[in-house]
Amino acid sequence: MKKKYWIALIASAMMAIGGGTYFWRGHLVQQAVNSIVAKPTNPIKELQKDRVNILLLGSDARGNEASRSDTMILISADTKSKHVSIISIPRDTRVNLPGIGLTKITHANVMGELSGGVHAGTLAAVQAASNLLGITINNYAKINFDGFQKVVDAVGGIDVTLPEAVGDIKAGDQHLNGDMALGVARARYGVTDGDFGRQRNQFHLLSGLGNKILSLENVPKLPQVLNIVHNDLMDTNLSDVQILALATDFKAATQDNVQYFQLPGLDITAHDPLVGADVDYYEPEIAGIKRVVLKAVQY
């Protein structure tokens, strides 16, 4: 029997039975909670017993070139209360990378990949995020943007409410296909607040995609979706069944249980040692970040 058929059976059982698979699913979720990929150099908050922090990385990879982590989103979830905090990290955030100095956090993935390949790039990006936020990160997933587009199409598009127009896509309730969703995810010019506006839109897209993937109508499509994800999933330490366990564990979470956070700071221009010139940065406000992170992980 093919692996993807087993995944479909497992997914269907987990979605339909719920209580009958709670212990097994809970064990898989706890495995994710117990996993530790990166610990911060200066911790702000110790990881709580029932909390899992997952870093999502969106790559702009083209061909075999080293890629920037164009999108960095931390999902901090309480497996007991089902409360979820989402923290967006601006790609231009100025951080101190070992052996490099003060540069953009998006460069962590590039330099890691150049020295040790895709996985080394992931770990460098995860560690940079952990150091910036001051919290332990359990898990990670890095996917090419093309994969996001294909998944949206595979589930029949997603429904989102956009706070403002993005290009030709109007504000308000919209049904987006993969190409439209990718355009919204990437757009930061012409969007209010620039990269912060893009981060907010990415939050709405992720919420819409999660709801659509886990709808009953799409359960039979999960093997197809996972196959697409695997083709464009560049790196992760989560297994298929762990991903499904986490997804189903939080399926009952409502919008009222999800909070979105952005990091405080200011725009500056400063020298970048990698490019040897002055560039635009987002300078993080450390005391403000500490307050945001404490609120997020205690939610």
pLDDT, one tens digit per residue, over 187-220 is 888 788 777 888 888 888 888 887 788 777 877 7
Alpha-carbon distance of 204 to 58, in angstroms, equals 15
Residue 7 has a pLDDT of 47
Residue 98 has a pLDDT of 92
Low-confidence ranges of the chain (pLDDT < 70): 1-25, 60-68, 251-255
Torsion angle in degrees (nearest 10) through CA of 134, 138, 142, 148: -100
Structure tokens at 286: 């450390």
Structure tokens at 241: 């069944």
Residue 226 has a pLDDT of 76
| Torsion region of 89: left, alpha or beta (phi above 0 gives left; psi -120 to 50 gives alpha) | beta
CA 256 to chain centre: 20
Residue-range domains of the chain with CATH:
3-297 (3.40.630.190)
Residue 213 has a pLDDT of 80
Residue 64 has a pLDDT of 61
At residue 150, φ and ψ (nearest 5 deg) are -65, -40
CB 155 within 8 A of CB 212: yes
